[in-house]
Amino acid sequence: MKTWLARQRYLVDFTLAAALRRKGRNAMLLGVYALMIFILASVIFFGSALRREAAAALQGAPEVTVQNLVMGRHALAPPQWLDKLRHMRGARHVQGRLWGYFYDKATGANYTVMTPPADKPDYALKPGETIIGASIKRLRDGRNLGWLMLLSPSGKLFKLKIKRTLPETSELMSADLVLMARADFLRFFSLPEGAGFTDISMQVRNRNEVAKIVEKISRLLPTARVITRADILRTYENVFSWREGIVLAMLSAALVAFAIFAFDKASGLSAGERREIGILKALGWETSDILAMKFWEGALISLAAFIIGVAGAYAHVFFFDAGVLAPVLKGWSVLYPRIHLTPSVDRLQLVTLAFITIIPFTAATLVPIWKAAITDPDVVMR
């Protein structure tokens, strides 16, 4: 065992010395390889942390949301729906909700305007007051401190006193929220009293009966669309299941790159390299030594790239708040939550990443050598 280790260390020495002969090429290879892993690992870290946080936050989402659809598009739910649903057996906390979107010309950002539920004292608002998300506060910093000035869609100026700002730690859910009292909301969007609700949310007494309730609602209100919490969670599970989307696309590109690299190596085994293998064999190296030496070349490069890439990705996502990925996700939204993600690592994905990078690369360095390694060493004499 000791000899075996010593032998492997010598082979590592040799492969390093040989790799140093083409410093530039190998450094570039390592750099590109590490960069690829960095990007993939960043996406994995970001995705899994976000998915976990979203899942935790959405556990409290309404069990059932009922929307009205008119001509296939979302419309206000009539007020009488509220009564119909309240009389349904098994339904609890049936509430008509008012929320909508508002494009603020002053800042160029889209806000989500909401009325808080009446039964939550933490969010109780008198007319003329507002609670805003932390991102909005940041966006408007320095202007109208303490007051939120909004020009309503119908052209009326609204001046709301900022009662407080939602905590920065919950920006992921509340970045663009503007909470206002029901009366303000109706005036702001020029809605008549009794216009109805944006949607209706409810809890279900027995969780196992959600499917039954959904069925009942769609019989009771045929034009309604019913969204369950499971639907919501599934939506986010899909959205952040990067494996199925972007990552897969990137991985396939990466694998193609590997294939090209392997092909290049296979076809590019020069006469000089063949001769070198012959020399080593003539000097008493066995086929297995040659293969082990080449194995170390591939393994060390890919291991180094993996460590650099993963360590860098972790720092990038959790120390620097994914500064490189964020612009991609931001798109052209003006409001973007400042999120400090809590580290959560999907070990399975990380192991998968290790497998699909280290193994193909190592194989790609080994395979072309195979044939050269089993040839007789007497080529060096010819």
Nearest to residue 188, comparing CAs of 145, 144, 235, 155?
A: 155
Tell me which residues in 7-26 interact with other proteins (CB under 8 A). 7-14, 16-18, 20-21
Verify binding: residue 332, other proteins, rule CB under 8 A.
yes
Tell whether residue 342 is a contact of other proteins (CB under 8 A): yes
- Residues 106 to 125 in contact with other proteins, rule: CB under 8 A: 109-112, 114, 116-117, 120, 122-123
Residue 111 is inside which H or E element, if any?
strand 109-114
Sign of the CA dihedral running 68, 70, 73, 75: negative
**Shortest CB 359 distance to other proteins, Å:** 18
Rounded CA-CA distance 338/370 in Å is 52
Stretch that binds other proteins, among 77-85, 143-151, 189-197, 337-345 (CB under 8 A): 337-345
Q: Which of 291, 299, 269, 306 is nearest to 362 (CA)?
A: 299
DSSP 30-42: HHHHHHHHHHHHH
When asked if residue 244 is in the footprint of other proteins (CB under 8 A), the reply is no
- The pair phi, psi for residue 59, each rounded to 5°, is -60, -30
What's CA 302's distance to the chain center, in Å? 25
Comparing CB distances to other proteins, the nearer of 153 and 167 is 167
Nearest-angstrom CA–CA distance, 175 and 136: 7
Find the shortest distance in angstroms from Cβ 194 to other proteins: 21
What single DSSP character describes residue 346? -
89, two tokens: 């057996």
Residue 91 interacts with other proteins (CB under 8 A)?
no
Contacts of 18 (CB under 8 A, 6+ apart): 297
Q: Which is nearer to other proteins, 104 or 262 (CB)?
A: 104
158-197 positions binding other proteins, by CB under 8 A: 166-167, 169-177, 179
Question: Beta strand 199-204 with 64-70: parallel, antiparallel or unpaired?
Answer: antiparallel
Q: By C-beta, is 262 or 349 nearer to other proteins?
A: 349
Question: Nearer Cβ to other proteins, position 198 or 262?
Answer: 198
* 340 secondary structure, DSSP code: -
Site for other proteins contains 264 (CB under 8 A):
no
Q: Is 271 in the site for other proteins (CB under 8 A)?
A: no
DSSP letter, residue 318 = I
Residues 48-67 interacting with other proteins (rule: CB under 8 A) = 50, 53-54, 56-62, 65, 67
Q: What is the closest distance, in whole angstroms, from the C-beta atom of residue 67 to other proteins in the complex?
A: 7
Tell me if 354 contacts other proteins by CB under 8 A.
no
Number of residues that bind other proteins (CB under 8 A): 126
Residues between 288 and 307 that touch other proteins (CB under 8 A):
288-289, 300, 303-304, 307
CB-nearer residue toward other proteins: 46 or 262: 46
